[in-house]
A and B are shown apart, each in its own frame.
Chain A
Amino acid sequence: MKNILGYLAVCFCLGIIYVYLFKIVFWPCYILGVVVITACVLLINKELGFDILLLVLFFILGALNLKNSYTTPNSDISRYVYCKNSTSLTVKGFVNSRPVIKNGRVSFVFRTEELQFKKNNYKTRGNILVNTKNEKNLSYGEELILFGNLYRPYRLSNRGVPVAMRIKNNSALVRLHKNKGRLIKRLAFYLKDNAESVFMQHLSPLAASINNAMILGEKKHIPAVVYDYMIKSGTVHIMVVSGFHTGVIVFISGIFLKILRIPRKVRYFGIMFCLILYCLITGASTPVVRATVMGIFLVTGYFFQRDPDIKNSLSLAVFFILIINPKDFFSVSFQLSFVSVAAIAYVYPCLRSFFKTEKIKMKFLRVLFEGCLVSLAAWVGTAGFIAYYFQIFSPVTLLANMFILPLSSLIILSGLSMVIVSIILPSLSGSFVAFNEVSVFILLKLNSLLIKLPYAYHYF
């Protein structure tokens, strides 16, 4: 039986769902896990017995993993937040994200290390979301001492940090002028800032906002109308950095390294580095982590001259993401990202054999038809989830994807090329700018036309 990892991943997910629905106690479940693993060792030569026990073991591992993630450490900063009284604390740590300036306020995620509470100093851990008006030139990794009030935000922010701190005044933020950030993350943020400024300098505000979303994963500047059109036509996924982008990065970095005449095996490491860097630049959201993990495993497959298998890569990506944070299983982006790729991996081959695409003689038509089948497979996989979460059913998606996907690939390619060229040869960037602007214009026009078709979409 092929794709064993797929079966193990499914059992792991079932364990996570079980803990989500039912209450378990950690230690009895852990002992059960130890018993099952011992039984596996004893039955290692038995065919069926071992396989069934292995599936049970992965179910237990999934359950334990979620249960463990529900437990916060005793020293976690969230333990110092009290329901009734807003607590004044002094905390030391470092800026753990790229500070965002909005409406004259700066917000950033702060990794706490030590805190002073009632004149005593304690070690602590965990992130807090900090809002301040005063300091606007902070950067990732900067070590700070903050004095302010901890509270739980009424609505969880999109950064997923459950505790926030309100800084009182100017002197409540002391800069220690040390950088504790990781070098690769600092490099990623530096490149992101440069790419953003290239878009802002060369493109119109609308095209810059679309490029920022499609290439850098920054969706905050996209006009609401454009976003609404994309939801209706079912093409909003192009605004999310995903596997497609990863493919483009592999392609561009591969060609670039080839031009530099770097040996083949070293080139694969270069591609992997570029993938990790791009993952960090785009904020390491679930779809991009999924795509990066899959991309790395595929490139590793080429490195060892093994046949890459999309199903095994997908299963490994499931394990990678859920081992780090099992709560991701319940996020919409995780579900949509994995269901669409799983549908392409499992449904598309069935559709291909059903329609017998190999009988189409003309290569161009065959490729076009197969592209439509990939789109159909992804749509079949995600339609139910989209209807459930967004209360919308849009048959026009199938048609829209046929035109909008190639266009978006042109935008991504020209946008990335524009960033690279404007750094190396700024005088050449003009043609990329014009091409990118036209592509964005066609994309938006086409989108607005498609949603005007009869029965294009239906809200429940």
Chain B
Amino acid sequence: MFDLTNDERKVILFLAFVFLLGLGVNFSSKRFMPKKTPASFNENLGRVNLNTAEQKLLMSIPGIGEKLSQRIIDLRESIGGFGNVEEIKKIKGVTEAKFDKIKDYLFAQ
């Protein structure tokens, strides 16, 4: 009917076999994969990066207003970026109590 040569038949069968195998593997991986595979999530999730955040983003953190956000940016520019969050304690107005309040929202990278 199709007048295929023996080599052509072999090629078509090989491709069909690979596709069939692929379908089986794909279906099994979807079906039998555990629903919840633990992942190494970023521990800074949901926090604001002190080294890249704009003023508006810093101001979205409870406890940081316009003045403090501006001071953070000024210090960042003067020291060329924060090495760790503790460094914001140098800023005027960041008391120990204030730092405890805002530290969970911040990270430096």
B29 at the interface (CB under 8 A from A): yes
B45 at the interface (CB under 8 A from A): yes
Task: Assess whether B105 is in contact with A171, with CB atoms less than 8 Å apart.
Answer: yes
Contact (A90, B34) CB under 8 Å given A65-B23, A114-B39: no
B57 at the interface (CB under 8 A from A): yes
Task: Assess whether B13 is in contact with A40, with CB atoms less than 8 Å apart.
Answer: yes
Contact (A174, B16) CB under 8 Å given A30-B24, A74-B33: no
Quick one: CB contact mask for A68-82 with B, threshold 8 Å, 1 for yes? Answer: 100111110001000
Task: Assess whether B2 is in contact with A7, with CB atoms less than 8 Å apart.
Answer: yes
Q: How far is the CA of A345 from the CA of B43 in the complex (A)?
A: 58
Q: How far is the CA of A51 from the CA of B61 in the complex (A)?
A: 69
A64 at the interface (CB under 8 A from B): yes
Question: Which of these, A51, A171, A175, contacts B60 with CB under 8 Å?
Answer: A171
Question: Which of these, A45, A74, A323, contacts B31 with CB under 8 Å?
Answer: A74
Q: Which residue of A lies closest to B19 (CB)?
A: A61
A151 at the interface (CB under 8 A from B): no
Task: Assess whether A121 is in contact with B38, with CB atoms less than 8 Å apart.
Answer: yes
Q: How far is the CA of A323 from the CA of B13 in the complex (A)?
A: 16
Q: How far is the CA of A353 from the CA of B96 in the complex (A)?
A: 91
B37 at the interface (CB under 8 A from A): yes
Q: Chain B contact residues (Cβ within 8 angstroms of A): what range? A: 35 or more
A101 at the interface (CB under 8 A from B): no
Task: Assess whether A123 is in contact with B39, with CB atoms less than 8 Å apart.
Answer: yes
CB within 8 Å of A: which of B3-32?
3-4, 6, 9-10, 12-13, 16-17, 19-20, 23-24, 26-27, 29-31
Q: How far is the CA of A99 from the CA of B20 in the complex (A)?
A: 37
Quick one: CB contact mask for A104-116 with B, threshold 8 Å, 1 for yes? Answer: 0000000001111
Q: How far is the CA of A158 from the CA of B105 in the complex (A)?
A: 36
Contact (A37, B16) CB under 8 Å given A30-B24, A44-B10, A171-B57: yes
Quick one: CB contact mask for A154-190 with B, threshold 8 Å, 1 for yes? Answer: 0000000000000001111011110000000000000
Q: Which residue of A lies closest to B20 (CB)?
A: A33
Task: Assess whether A323 is in contact with B39, with CB atoms less than 8 Å apart.
Answer: no
Task: Assess whether B26 is in contact with A44, with CB atoms less than 8 Å apart.
Answer: no
Task: Assess whether B27 is in contact with A26, with CB atoms less than 8 Å apart.
Answer: yes
Shortest Cβ distance from residue A230 to the other chain B in the assembled complex, whole angstroms: 40
Task: Assess whether A54 is in contact with B20, with CB atoms less than 8 Å apart.
Answer: no
Task: Assess whether B36 is in contact with A122, with CB atoms less than 8 Å apart.
Answer: yes
A47 at the interface (CB under 8 A from B): yes
Q: Which residue of B lies closest to A52 (CB)?
A: B1
> Which residues of chain A are near B3, meaning CB under 8 Å?
1
Q: Which residue of A lies closest to B58 (CB)?
A: A171
Question: Which of these, B16, B20, B38, B46, contacts A123 with CB under 8 Å?
Answer: B38
Q: How far is the CA of A380 from the CA of B39 in the complex (A)?
A: 55
Q: How far is the CA of A128 from the CA of B63 in the complex (A)?
A: 32
User: Interface residues of A, CB < 8 Å — how many?
Assistant: 54
Task: Assess whether A34 is in contact with B48, with CB atoms less than 8 Å apart.
Answer: no
Quick one: CB contact mask for A1-39 with B, threshold 8 Å, 1 for yes? Answer: 100100110000000000000000010001001100100
Q: How far is the CA of A177 from the CA of B38 in the complex (A)?
A: 24
Contact (A47, B20) CB under 8 Å given A120-B36, A120-B38, A174-B45: no
Question: Which of these, B37, B45, B52, B60, contacts A177 with CB under 8 Å?
Answer: B52
> Which residues of chain B are near A424, meaning CB under 8 Å?
none
Task: Assess whether A75 is in contact with B52, with CB atoms less than 8 Å apart.
Answer: no
Task: Assess whether B27 is in contact with A34, with CB atoms less than 8 Å apart.
Answer: no
B49 at the interface (CB under 8 A from A): yes
> Which residues of chain B are near A113, meaning CB under 8 Å?
39
Q: Which residue of A lies closest to B31 (CB)?
A: A71
Contact (A45, B6) CB under 8 Å given A54-B12, A64-B23, A171-B105: yes
A57 at the interface (CB under 8 A from B): yes
Task: Assess whether B52 is in contact with A1, with CB atoms less than 8 Å apart.
Answer: no
Can you list 19 A-B contacts (CB < 8 A)? A1-B2, A30-B27, A33-B20, A40-B13, A50-B4, A51-B4, A54-B12, A61-B16, A61-B23, A67-B27, A72-B30, A73-B29, A75-B34, A121-B41, A122-B36, A123-B38, A123-B39, A170-B60, A175-B52
* Extra inter-chain contacts (5) besides given A61-B19, A71-B31, A122-B39, CB under 8 Å: A30-B27, A47-B1, A52-B1, A68-B30, A120-B36
Binding site for A on B (CB under 8 A): 1-4, 6, 9-10, 12-13, 16-17, 19-20, 23-24, 26-27, 29-31, 33-42, 44-49, 52, 56-57, 60-61, 105
